[in-house]
């Protein structure tokens, strides 16, 4: 992966390094971190800087605070967890670019770590504000982006800040790993290459589907988006999720697949209910027999068996999007069984973050997947072939 500036190519010795991390971790109502994978993923880059005698300033966002400080979006808990994982103190600043952060940063010694408060408490972060970026740039002589999950957003700490660093900027180890996996998937997957795509909306995945079609051998479509495809084939889908305006697009994808010799698989049965609730009665019906007024909320057992067959000879699997409304146990079986089926293959398995990562975690399969992306939206855009605003400034000149 030669065209991205790598942290290992910089001379870091004794420098102060500003690392943009992605510590946007899920928390329960008591503000306990329920999954610290994103914090653990940042550790190799942080350790590498410490091994080089650097002092380190970490910055991240958490959630979507509306205006200024909100207790529930504070990174205090993240700093505590990181301190435990690293087994060393993490100094915490109570603001982002205010006096507390500035004083603690100027007192920082080599081998010490400072974490700034949630970047999004500053209005300018999501506006890609250059003044905020300039203030952040004062925290480090070197800028490292290791926050893959936000690389598809042009934010102050991701894009504008790079203008303040000439060659003293690079990608951290996690970011490089993410880009490598996505590029290898697109450029040289081991075949057969199967893409499994789910989630609720076709609209969010349309571009990715068009980009993947010429590259995959088989495509499995599940989740709410499958109903727009079934409708385009003339099935009666009852009250299931439908994107009316995309029926022609769905038909076009099926046609293009046929033309390219890509086998496309849709669910053959669903778990149907009259409404989405834990109390509602459910029945398993084939997709031809969804009663009017009912909706499909998960793939059924026959679809699970079919998809398992499809995956049997796969050598590369890319999975993005659950098979049903997995947040409710009643409708999570399809997604969980899909996760098991993917893990049981002998393939290189790549999971595109977000909801899909949650499913894999819930299914207990996380350790057996080859790679789980830390960014749902960003990994989708890489597969779509887009140039991400956070990655572009890290490309080497002339490439």
Please list the active-site residues.
Answer: 38, 201, 354, 377
Residues 6 or more apart from 137 whose CB is under 8 A from it? Answer: 18, 143, 161, 164, 165
Three-state SS letters, 128-176: CCHHHHHHHHCCCCEEEECCHHHCCCCCCCCCHHHHHCCCCEEECHHHH
Q: Which residues of 226-254 are buried (b: 16+ CB within 10 A; e: fewer)?
A: bbbbbbbeebebbbbbbbeebbebbeebb
C-alpha 280/C-alpha 275 separation (Å) is 6
Q: Measuring CA to CA, how many Å separate 8 from each of 2, 12, 16, 144?
A: 12, 9, 15, 11
Q: How many CA atoms lie within 13 A of 154 on its CB side?
A: 10
Q: Measuring CA to CA, which residue among 104, 112, 47, 115 is closest to residue 75?
A: 115
C-alpha 190/C-alpha 360 separation (Å) is 22
Q: Measuring CA to CA, how many Å separate 120 from each of 10, 67, 132?
A: 29, 9, 11
């Amino acid at each position: 992966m030669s065209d991205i500036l790598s942290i290992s190519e910089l001379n870091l010795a004794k420098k102060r390094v500003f690392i943009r991390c992605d510590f946007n971790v899920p928390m329960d109502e008591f503000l306990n971190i329920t999954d610290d994978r994103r914090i653990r993923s940042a550790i190799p880059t942080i350790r590498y800087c410490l091994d080089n005698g650097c002092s380190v300033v970490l910055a991240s966002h958490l959630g979507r605070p509306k205006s200024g400080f909100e207790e529930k979006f504070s990174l205090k808990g993240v700093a505590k967890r990181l301190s435990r994982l690293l087994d060393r103190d993490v100094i915490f600043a109570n603001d982002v670019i205010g006096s507390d952060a500035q004083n603690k940063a100027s007192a920082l010694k080599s081998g010490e770590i400072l974490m700034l408060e949630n970047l999004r408490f500053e209005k300018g972060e999501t506006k890609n504000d250059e003044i905020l970026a300039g203030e952040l740039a004062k925290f480090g002589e070197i800028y490292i982006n290791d926050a893959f999950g936000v690389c598809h957003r042009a934010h102050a700490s991701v894009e504008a800040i790079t203008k303040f660093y000439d060659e003293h900027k690079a990608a951290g180890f996690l970011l490089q790993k993410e880009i490598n996996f996505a590029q290898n998937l697109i450029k040289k997957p081991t075949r057969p290459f199967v893409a499994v795509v789910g989630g609720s909306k076709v609209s969010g995945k349309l571009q990715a589907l068009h980009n993947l079609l010429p590259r995959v051998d088989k495509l499995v479509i599940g989740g709410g988006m499958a109903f727009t495809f079934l409708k385009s084939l003339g099935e009666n889908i009852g009250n299931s999720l439908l994107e009316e305006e995309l029926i022609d697009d769905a038909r076009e994808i099926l046609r293009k697949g046929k033309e390219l010799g890509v086998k496309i698989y849709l669910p053959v049965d669903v778990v149907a209910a009259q409404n989405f609730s834990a109390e509602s009665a459910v029945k398993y019906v084939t997709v031809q027999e969804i009663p009017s007024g009912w909706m499909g909320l998960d793939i059924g057992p026959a679809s699970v068996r079919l998809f398992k067959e499809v995956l049997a000879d796969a050598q590369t699997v890319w999975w993005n999007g659950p098979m049903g409304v997995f947040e409710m146990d009643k409708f999570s079986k399809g997604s969980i069984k899909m996760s098991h089926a993917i893990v049981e293959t002998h393939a290189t398995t790549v999971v595109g973050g977000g909801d899909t990562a949650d499913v894999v975690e819930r299914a207990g399969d996380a350790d057996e997947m080859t790679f789980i992306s830390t960014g749902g939206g960003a990994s989708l855009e890489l597969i779509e072939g887009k140039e991400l605003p956070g990655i572009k400034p890290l490309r080497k000149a002339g490439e």
